[in-house]
Chain A
Amino acid sequence: MLDMETKSLQAKEKAEVTSSAEHTRPGPTFVPAVDIFENEKELNLLADMPGVKASDLHIGIKENILTLSGYASPPEKSDETDILREYRVGKYFREFTLSEMIDQNKIEAQLKDGVLKLRLPKVESARPRKIEVKTN
């Protein structure tokens, strides 16, 4: 039986990473949750990075390693005092190894409502091709 009711969202603490290299800016680093799906033409990556502005987001590709890093600055003004603190803000960092089939020059990125959307088109030769079988 399929559950027809809409699932209710569960609260999740952000996953924190401890990297070997020390950061120049102190504070926690989180792993953004991602969805990755592909179709014939492209690979799509969606990453949740709430609080990150486009200017504080860095997407880099070096030797087939795709690096996503972002920084969410604390939104509080200096005269605000805490009553309740359930989540923390800080940096986001995650890396992926890309296969050869991504056309690295055609990658498109869009950041909207705290969600990064990356479109990674495949190179022509990597697209699946239907082979016709000829019959004489």
Chain B
Amino acid sequence: MIVRRIGTWPNWDWRSQFEEIERMRRLLESMSGPMIREPSAGVFPLMNVTEDSDSYYVRAELPGIRTEDLEISVTGNGISISGERKIPDAGTDAVYHRKERDAGRFSRMLSLPGQIDSAKAEADVADGVLTVVLPKSETAKPRQIAIKTA
């Protein structure tokens, strides 16, 4: 079951607390279906971040945003995504019945748990979903340590 590390509580930073909450939420979700939840950052675009042993993957849903209106920059352990969503004018004779899609500028920063090799970062947009692949720098990669036997 869930074991809380109360003993180490004063040493928690926001990230580990967040991870703990997120882990609990996913555990609960897997047991009893989805829970209602607020956006964790509340800044557009909402992001999903995953990792494997080589890279971090940052994903965001950006429907209808052209690549030329998108700016992505990468630093040591952070990524910044900014841009503008433009919605073409419907014409002067058009009458709106519904207008739920928003246009506007956005800008968001996100820091990753480890250092990244910014020179090898790659970004791609497919079907309105942005995927940024950020290879981990050599120091941040998990390393297998061979045990020497005498």
Quick check: is B96 within 8 A (CB to CB) of the other chain? yes
Quick check: is A6 within 8 A (CB to CB) of the other chain? yes
Contact flags (1/0) for B13-39 with A, using CB distance below 8 Å? 000001100100010000000100111
Interface residues in B95-150 (C-beta closer than 8 Å to A): 95-107, 110, 112-113, 125, 127-129, 131
Interface size on B, residues (CB 8 A): 59
Chain A, interface size category, equals: 35 or more
Contact, CB under 8 Å: B127 / A83 = no
Contact, CB under 8 Å: A35 / B87 = yes
Contact, CB under 8 Å: A53 / B127 = yes
Within the complex, which residue of B37, B51, B97 is in contact with A38, where a contact is CB–CB below 8 Å?
A: B97
Contact, CB under 8 Å: B44 / A11 = yes
A28, A51, A76, A114: most-surrounded residue (chain B CB, <10 A)? A114
Within 8 Å CB of B110, what residues of A?
A: 84
Contact, CB under 8 Å: B94 / A52 = no
Lowest 6 A-B CB distances belong to which pairs?
Answer: A114-B128, A114-B63, A50-B128, A80-B50, A50-B61, A86-B46
Interface residues of B (CB under 8 A from A): 18-19, 22, 26, 34, 37-53, 56-57, 59, 61-66, 84-85, 87, 90-91, 93-107, 110, 112-113, 125, 127-129, 131
